[in-house]
Amino acid sequence: MASLGEDLLGIVNKLQDLVFNTIGNDSLDLPQIVVVGSQSSGKSSVLENIVGRDFLPRGSGIVTRRPLILQLINIPTDDDSPEAHTPAAVATQPEWAEFHHIPNRRFTEFQDVKREIENETARIAGNNKGINRQPINLKIYSPHVLSLTLVDLPGLTKVPIGDQPTDIEKQTRNLISEYIAKPNSIILAVSPANVDIVNSEALKLARHVDPLGRRTIGVLTKIDLMDHGTNALDILSGRVYPLKLGFIGVVNRSQQDIQGNKSLAEALKSEADFFKHHPAYRNMANRCGTQFLAKSLNTTLMAHIRERLPDIKARLNTLMGQTQQELASYGDMHFSGKEHRGSLVLQLMTRFASSFISSIDGTSTEISTKELCGGARIYYIFNSVFGNSLETIDPTTNLSALDIRTAIRNSTGPRPSLFVPELAFDLLVKPQIKLLEIPSQRCVELVYEELIKICHTCGSTELTRFPRLQAKLIEVVSDLLRERLGPASNYVESLIAIQRAYINTNHPNFLGAAAAMSNVVTNKQEKERKRLLQEERERRDRRRQKELGNGADTPEDDEENGEKIENLVHRKQLHKGGRSMSPAVRENGAGSITATLNGARSGSPPRFNGQAVGGARDSFLNYFFGKEGGLPGGSGAGQGSSSAHNPNLGRHVSQSTEPSFSQSIRRQEERAVHRTPAQQLREDDYELGRAQRDYDYNSPFGNNNEPALTDREAMETELIRALISSYFNIVRESIADQVPKAVMHLLVNHSKDVVQNRLVSELYREDLFEELLYEDDAVKKEREKCEKLLKTYREAAKIVGEVGI
């Protein structure tokens, strides 16, 4: 079993050497003994007693400022004769030390070892009293030692001194916790016996990471310095602070002994005599002292290694798998030769193209869960950005009433308009359709920019090895996208031009003149009713305020007044409509307008029976041309038929349109019958002066000095505005559907289909292979580091596999 234990420790030492020489100490948690204690608790003295040599720096304050990993390696003697094992013979056998940072150099003088530790500490940690996490690795080969692996850590301190950092205590605690928290570490908690054990900082830290005390060994130093009449028997017996591995008492050299150059051999002999002759400890002297401590540490470490070895094997397998996977991300090393350059370039191009396509389709394995990416952003552009930008366009926001009136007048030329001309509608709706071109072109640009982003993000770790190849791949795909941007943009521009080329007023969703006029008339009647109602209420309120002195109204009077107001307004509307509408319009109302206009549209199917066709045509013409229903000498129907052929009749208007010229003449004649000559003269002078004031012969046509819109012009303006909005909504709906389809077909899908062929045709040339496969230096170092790490893990697994456990 001892032989097996030595083999186990040798294996761990080999692993430790392998780890230190290649990848550092943090990657593989190996079994080791970590020495913990407060400053000046005797840690260094304990280690020197175990080694049997004075090799550690001494002084005031923190002396150990870097972790010291100490590997003790026993050298067996070749001579098995009894004479070879005498103290004199053993003392003459060689022993030496080696540092990891100075390979192939042996230190036979341990004073040189002490100076090298001081120099190496100052080189890394500086000349102040600060600490550093980088360890010093020291091996000591000697026939006097038992094979052990120890880690000496800086001592715990409370108050910074000199130029120490203010958080020196926190730094030290963090460093110690980092080492003792590893489950493969055995904690050697050093506490001075002349200080109450409950105040031990080492035990406090050990309990934090090992609450059950299963891997903690307690060491009591300075037992010989305890007060007379006191002893540490209860502590060593485990009655005060129980530990599974127990407490061991030691006696180190005092400062006076060190200054007196007392040898360690003499100190160990004095220690043994102390425990043998002390009345409190002589019964347990065989379980105290440095030699027993070294044997206990050796036995405990062997058992711990045997226990943790299966976990080390499992950890090595895990690390090998992770490292191999990382190395595979840099590419297959079998394609590294010159004869495989073409295959490697083709493989990388194919993967790049596949990554580009899968990012657009949303089938990539590296889809982000934090933000939209790839094809999802293209959908977001179509649905949210482009759709919302179209919805925010108001088709008539840049058309004022004067603009529409000017367009109507310009479209008729010198001829008077019988009704609203279609040319005015065409003239006004085409520039409004042009408003859809800017957001449509912006949609194309946004999709193009998103494809460029996808192109830059679809590389892999393997591709980063070759930055020039990656740059060329991105350049070729960017050129392809730039080529397709032109056709896509031109086609979208053509879509807008196509919509402006032909204004299809027969579209089934178009509102039409009849429905538009019906809406206009209905809205105007509603506004007029509300206005009259408000005016009548205000007049009633003023009258009521004047009559407050006579008595207050009751709530019943208010309700009755409200009903009277409604009835009065209704009568006024009927009276006004009766004076302005033709008989057909008065009989049928707004619904008749809609019916007659729909019936009179060219190309539309007949919607009325034969009895109403003539009346529908009459009503449509009467609405725009005007017809009075009370001319003498005929009935309403007769007048309706004759008015269509009689040029002397004025144009008919609805309730809010201006009176026709003939109506004005007739009404003036009727009023003249009842006027005196003086009244007639005054009124004629007033009309003449107003006409002169209203007409400015010198003002340019179309300026803002023109008179306000007449009732007829206002209704024509509202009609044109309603028709423009209706047709614009149809075109907007069509553009919102066609533009995304065009972009997907001409830009996105075409790029996906030809990207692989374009990459091969542009880059798969033998004269480019050497340039494209230039490997980045930083990535090359990372790959080589990964290869070295994998090799180390494989060697470690081979070493561990030598033990049949």
Q: What pLDDT is stored for residue 764 in this prediction?
A: 87
What is the tens place of the pLDDT at every residue in 697-732? 444 444 445 557 777 777 777 888 888 888 999 999
In what side-by-side order are the strands of the sheet with 136-142? 102-107, 96-99, 136-142, 68-74, 148-152, 32-37, 185-192, 216-221, 247-249
In a domain, 151, yes or no: yes
What span, in angstroms and rounded, lies between the C-alpha atoms of 143 and 78?
Answer: 11
Q: What pLDDT is stored for residue 671 in this prediction?
A: 47
287 & 344 share domain: no
Instruction: Say yes or no to pLDDT of 166 above 60.
Output: yes
69 & 110 share domain: yes
Q: What does R_g of the chain's alpha carbons equal in angstroms?
A: 52
- Going by pLDDT thresholds of 50, 70 and 90, the confidence category of residue 624 is very low
Cβ atoms of 576 and 711 closer than 8 Å: no
Total of domains in the chain: 3
- Going by pLDDT thresholds of 50, 70 and 90, the confidence category of residue 557 is low
Nearest CA-CA partner of 251 in 56, 46, 60: 46
H/E segment holding residue 408: helix 401-412
In a domain, 129, yes or no: yes
Average pLDDT over residues 157-178: 83
Least reliable range by pLDDT among 438-442, 511-515, 626-630: 626-630
Would residue 222 be called left, alpha or beta, if left means φ above 0 and alpha means ψ between -120 and 50 degrees? Answer: left
More confident residue, 435 or 800: 435
For 222, list phi and psi in degrees, rounded to 5: 60, 35
Torsion of CA 198, 200, 206, 212, to 10 degrees: -20
Look up tokens 């407050």; give the residue.
548
477 & 489 share domain: yes
In a domain, 52, yes or no: yes
For residue 321, the tally of other CB atoms under 10 A from its CB is 12
Average pLDDT over residues 218-228: 88
| b/e map 666-679, b = 16+ CB within 10 Å | beeeeeeeeeeeee
What is the tens place of the pLDDT at every residue in 455-507? 888 877 677 778 888 889 999 999 999 999 999 999 999 999 999 999 888 88
The partner residues of 350 in beta bridges, in order of sequence, read none
Residues 425, 431, 433: CA angle, nearest 5 degrees: 90
Instruction: Say yes or no to pLDDT of 636 above 80.
Output: no
Average pLDDT over residues 429-451: 93
What tokens were used for 491?
């086609």
The partner residues of 138 in beta bridges, in order of sequence, read 70, 99
Look up tokens 């990535």; give the residue.
779
User: Directed axis angle between helix 583-600 and helix 610-625, to 10°?
Assistant: 110
More confident residue, 587 or 800: 800
113 & 256 share domain: yes
What is the tens place of the pLDDT at every residue in 637-658? 344 333 333 333 333 333 343 4
46 & 171 share domain: yes
In a domain, 57, yes or no: yes
Least reliable range by pLDDT among 155-164, 267-276, 451-460, 495-504: 155-164
In a domain, 497, yes or no: yes
State how far Cα 757 lies from the chain centre: 34
800 & 747 share domain: no
Average pLDDT over residues 565-580: 54
293 & 365 share domain: no
Collapsed DSSP state (helix, strand, coil) of residue 107: strand
Strands 136-142 and 148-152: unpaired
Nearest CA-CA partner of 484 in 754, 79, 149, 289: 754
More confident residue, 688 or 55: 55
The whole-chain average pLDDT of the chain stands at: 75
Contacts 24+ apart (CB under 8 A), 15-18: 15/312, 15/796, 15/799, 15/800, 16/69, 16/71, 16/149, 18/792, 18/795, 18/796, 18/799
For 158, list phi and psi in degrees, rounded to 5: -105, -45
394 & 259 share domain: no
Percentage of residues of the chain with pLDDT beyond 90: 17
Collapsed DSSP state (helix, strand, coil) of residue 648: coil
Cβ atoms of 179 and 192 closer than 8 Å: no
For residue 88, the tally of other CB atoms under 10 A from its CB is 7
Q: Where are the alpha helices (DSSP H) in 581-659?
A: 583-600, 610-625, 636-643
SS (HEC) of 219-261: EEECHHHCCCCCCCHHHHCCCCCCCCCCEEECCCCCHHHHHCC
What DSSP line would sit under 16-56, residue for residue?
Answer: HHHHHHHT-SSSS---EEEEEEBTTSSHHHHHHHHHTS--S
In a domain, 289, yes or no: yes
346 & 436 share domain: yes
In a domain, 438, yes or no: yes
State how far Cα 583 lies from the chain centre: 71
268 & 348 share domain: no
275 & 168 share domain: yes
Domain membership of residue 726 as a residue range:
340-515+709-774
- Going by pLDDT thresholds of 50, 70 and 90, the confidence category of residue 734 is very high
Average pLDDT over residues 151-172: 82
What CATH number should be reported for the domain holding residue 304?
A: 3.40.50.300
Q: What pLDDT is stored for residue 680 in this prediction?
A: 52
Q: What pLDDT is stored for residue 486 in this prediction?
A: 93
Q: Write down the number of H helices and E strands in the chain.
A: 28, 9
Average pLDDT over residues 65-90: 68
Torsion of CA 680, 684, 690, 694, to 10 degrees: 140
- Burial class of residue 96 (count of CB atoms within 10 Å of its CB; 0-12, 13-18, 19+): middle
Cβ atoms of 65 and 39 closer than 8 Å: no
757 & 783 share domain: no
In a domain, 235, yes or no: no
Average pLDDT over residues 89-103: 77
Cβ atoms of 31 and 184 closer than 8 Å: yes
pTM of full prediction above 0.85: no
More confident residue, 705 or 759: 759
